Each structure stands twice: as structure tokens, then as C-alpha cells.
Structure 1
Amino acid sequence: MKRIIKLCAAILAAAAVFALAGCSARTTVTADEFKKQAESAGFTVTDSSSTNTNIEKYLSAVKSETGTELAFISFTSENAAEEMYANIKSNISAGTDGTAKNVDSSAYNKYTLVNGELNHTLVRMNKTIVYGKATTTYKNQMDDFFKAIKY
């Protein structure tokens, strides 16, 4: 009987370890990290910070030869980031019948949309938003960037 209890305990412990192995803690990218990764990927980065009191930092990155665009926005609060995420998501999906995927949690949201030739990726993590837009031909540039910043 003791063997069965020990075996069950070992199986439960192993199951808990394997279940949590897929949950990696994500860290928010900073404006400096965004700029560094974008420039190393060949993007031209512009500081487009505005006078909006909810926005701490706004950077845009463009690869002019391919038309791939990226944007980084850091907000003063998570509520402001959540509102902007909802607004951008609504704008890029309005009037489309493209293929969309959505991941939502309290600190992380990811929305991808393929609409014809255009691919959109929108990610909110805590108080930051990173948005990318690329044609299907150059989608890998956007995907590689999101992998590099671990979003």
C-alpha cells in the first residue's frame, strides 16, 4: 500500500513539473531593447513620442525596401495600454473577413490577423504594446522580430 501511495505522489509531482514547464515568464521589452533589436534587424527607428499624457514612449520602425512596419508604445498604466490595445485591434479588424487568432490573459494579449496580403500582429504585455504589419512575402521579418523580443 505504501508503494502505491509513493508511486501516485511521484506521478503527481512529475505531472506538475511537466504542466508548468510550458509556462515561461515573459518580460516586458523596453524602448531601448526595442530600438536595439529593430536596428539590428535592419529597421530604421524613429522616436515619435507624443504629448499624450498616457504615453511614456512611442517608437516606430520601418524597413522601407519591404514596407514592414513596427511600433512600440509604452504607457503610464496598464489600463491605458488595455484601452489602446482594444482600439488598435478594433481598427485593424474592422470590415475584414481575414483569419484571426487571439490569446488573452490579464497581463498579456496577442492578436494576429491575416487579411489578404497583409499580416498584422498586435501584442500587449503589461504597460507596453508592440504592433507589426507586413505583407505575406515579408511576414518572416515581423515574426523574427517578435521572436527576438520574446513576445
Structure 2
Amino acid sequence: MSNSITLRLVSQNLHKVKFQIEKLELNDHLKDNWINFKPGSLASFKIAFFRITDSDNKQTYFILRNAFFIYENDSDDITIRYNDTLQPLYQKEEITPFLQDKEQQLAKLVEEQKYLTALDDLNISTINKVKIQELEDQIWVLKAYTLFALDPTEEAQWN
């Protein structure tokens, strides 16, 4: 059995949550490709998508904005500082009402993004590029939910 890792999640409001995990993996561009976070590593993300695996081999997923990851080289401690709401997500086998809602939201936002981008490309509107970027960020998060069938309906074991 591998060594247990202490994962500390610290919000911008200094709300702290701790998990004992076996590993933490970062997602690679919303593909089913996961990169193991190793000792001595640092990472910073505008939007982080990662999963943790506990000692029972159960996986919990997270999507966090403005996340900074630190894995101490000389200890089994990972700290993640973030500026978001912490919500654990779980992969589902079936399509839940939550996922159906996310798929509908995604379709609407993709259409809105196409429209705003077209207006911006034609220079016939003073659409703020910030709005387009916000839509792209929202679409990215919704794609993570739908591509990986993630739902927050289970209870997490918080420490």
C-alpha cells in the first residue's frame, strides 16, 4: 500500500478542508488523460480540474477557479489555495437531472458564444471581449461536467 497523502484545501476566506488521499491527478485539456501530481511540484490554474483517489479507491472530482497547488518535496502534504466554492463531484453511470440541466446550459452558452464572437469578428458591435472570455470559461466548466458525467449528489467526508 502506498503512503497516504494529506490534502489541504484552503479557500480565499481561509475555510480549510482536509482529506487523506492516495493520489491527486490533474486533467489534461478535458481529455480522459490524467497527470499524477508529484512531490516537489507547483501548479497554478485559472480553472483547475482534478481528481483525488482515497484509500478505498473512490474518486472525487473538483473544479476550482484561481487554484494554486503545492506538493512539498520532503513531506506527503499537498496544499491547494483557491478562490471559488468547494464542491466535490462524482462520476455517474446514468444521466441525472443535474447533468441534463448542465447539457442544456452548455448548448445555450455555446450558441451565445458563437453569436457574440461573430458580432465581434464583424466589428458591428462593441461586444466586450471580457464577456466572450467569461462565456468560454463557463463553457469549459460545463463541458467538464458533461464529458465526465459529474454530479455533486453524494456526500463528501469532510475533515
- Normalised by the length of structure 1, the TM-score is 0.27
Structure scoring higher RCO (CA < 8 A, sep ≥ 6) equals 2
Query: Hey, which of these two has a bigger chunk of helix by percent?
Result: 1
- Normalised by the length of structure 2, the TM-score is 0.27
Larger radius of gyration: 1
